[in-house]
Amino acid sequence: MKHTTRDERTLLEVKHLKKHFPIRKGFLRRLVGQVKAVDGVSFYINEGETLGLVGESGCGKTTTARCILRALDPTAGQILFRTASGQVVDLATLPENELRPLRREMQMIFQDPFASLNPRMNLLDIVGEPLLVIEGIKSRKERAERVAEILRLVGLRPEYMQRFPHAFSGGQRQRIVIARALALHPRLVVADEPVSALDVSVQAQVLNLMMELQQRLNLTYLFVAHDLSVVKHICNRVAVMYVGKLVETAPTDELFYHPKHPYTEALMSAVPVADPRIRSAMIPLEGDVPSPANPPPGCYFHPRCRYAVDICSQEAPNLEEIEDNHFVACHRAHELKLRGIGG
């Protein structure tokens, strides 16, 4: 079957992606329910672009990222990817033998550089491992030359190649994680909270490095994060998730200054603004995030929404394009005048 994406610039297009986890109980492990961790998510990323995927913890953003890289098998939906040869494939259903050669084109940067590096391997082995396993470069000398080149690229000295992870600071370790992800010249990099485990002073350095590498290597990023200040710094567009669904996507400035969904408005009110003359009142979010195993009827946000009306608890709103490239899932998106960051 021939797949098509929204246009030629689209590197990744996710359509109606679902990932449900069964809940089983009793001796016979009877199916008693489903945790709908990701429930019908759709978005696209153009080549060379950074899309931020944001939301509170447990909203399904990491599960979405893991499905895209097929670390988890999706329950339903399509994950269309334009390969280096220009062919569009559906990663959601691709068998493992056809997926394997594509793995070099998609890499992941993990949140915790302390946990994601093997403490018993030196830098040469950590960064050189994908070169050995996937590219089949057996010569240690050739691998060392390639590793030295990659280390320079991420701002580490090639002389460090024989050292082990414990000899490096948190920021340097995240550079090593980035170096390993870039070893195979990927086109899509999925970064799952890549700076949240780092000190604030180091976060900016790593973000600037990621942006510089994007320019030099024409990388495309899916940037999963909960820190909106970080997202504002690095992303071209942002998608907001709530209980397994997308509630709003828009270009970054549009989303930050003119949100159209009440949940996004509440998130924006909590973002600190650098200007001391601006004092925006934080919008409190009452109640807890609903469980994806037992979400409320209608709009999942209605028990916490200060703009909710009758229809909100009866009908689930669809994600609709209400302005150019600005998609919102809210029954009242056209009429509400919401506050943006610092508003």
Separation between Cα atoms, residue 165 and residue 156, nearest integer Å: 13
Phi first, then psi: what are they for 336, rounded to 5°? -75, 140
Separation between Cα atoms, residue 203 and residue 124, nearest integer Å: 25
Exposure string over 241-258, b if 16+ CB within 10 A, otherwise e: bbbbbbbbbbebebbbeb
Count how many Cα atoms sit within 13 Å of the Cα of residue 70 in the half-sphere of its side chain. Answer: 20
Considering the complex, what minimum distance in angstroms separates the CB of residue 246 from ligand SF4?
13
Residues that bind ligand SF4 (CB under 6 A): 261-262, 299, 301-302, 305, 307-308, 312, 317, 330-332
Q: Among residues 149 and 310, whose Cβ is nearest to ligand SF4?
A: 310
Q: Among residues 82 and 331, whose Cβ is nearest to ligand SF4?
A: 331
Helix/strand/coil for 8? coil
Q: Among residues 258 and 332, whose Cβ is nearest to ligand SF4?
A: 332
Considering the complex, what minimum distance in angstroms separates the CB of residue 19 from ligand SF4?
23
* DSSP code at position 342: T
| Distance, C-alpha 51 to centroid of its chain | 7
Considering the complex, what minimum distance in angstroms separates the CB of residue 220 from ligand SF4?
30
What is the secondary structure of 235-264 as a DSSP string? -SEEEEEETTEEEEEEEHHHHHHS--SHHH
Q: Among residues 56 and 125, whose Cβ is nearest to ligand SF4?
A: 56
Considering the complex, what minimum distance in angstroms separates the CB of residue 333 from ligand SF4?
7
Q: Among residues 161 and 299, whose Cβ is nearest to ligand SF4?
A: 299
The residue count for the chain: 343
Considering the complex, what minimum distance in angstroms separates the CB of residue 193 from ligand SF4?
26
The three-state DSSP-derived secondary structure of 106-172 is EEEECCCCCCCCCCCCCHHHHHHHHHHHCCCCCCHHHHHHHHHHHHHHCCCCHHHHHCCHHHCCHHH
Q: Among residues 221 and 242, whose Cβ is nearest to ligand SF4?
A: 242
Residue 110, number of CB atoms within 10 A of its CB: 18
Considering the complex, what minimum distance in angstroms separates the CB of residue 270 from ligand SF4?
17
Considering the complex, what minimum distance in angstroms separates the CB of residue 301 from ligand SF4?
5
**Residues 260, 267 contacting (CB under 8 angstroms):** no
CA neighbor of 67 nearest in space, from 46, 98, 34, 93: 93
Q: Among residues 117 and 266, whose Cβ is nearest to ligand SF4?
A: 266
Considering the complex, what minimum distance in angstroms separates the CB of residue 282 from ligand SF4?
18
Q: Among residues 73 and 315, whose Cβ is nearest to ligand SF4?
A: 315
At 30, which helix (H) or strand (E)? strand 30-46
Considering the complex, what minimum distance in angstroms separates the CB of residue 195 from ligand SF4?
30
Q: Among residues 151 and 305, whose Cβ is nearest to ligand SF4?
A: 305
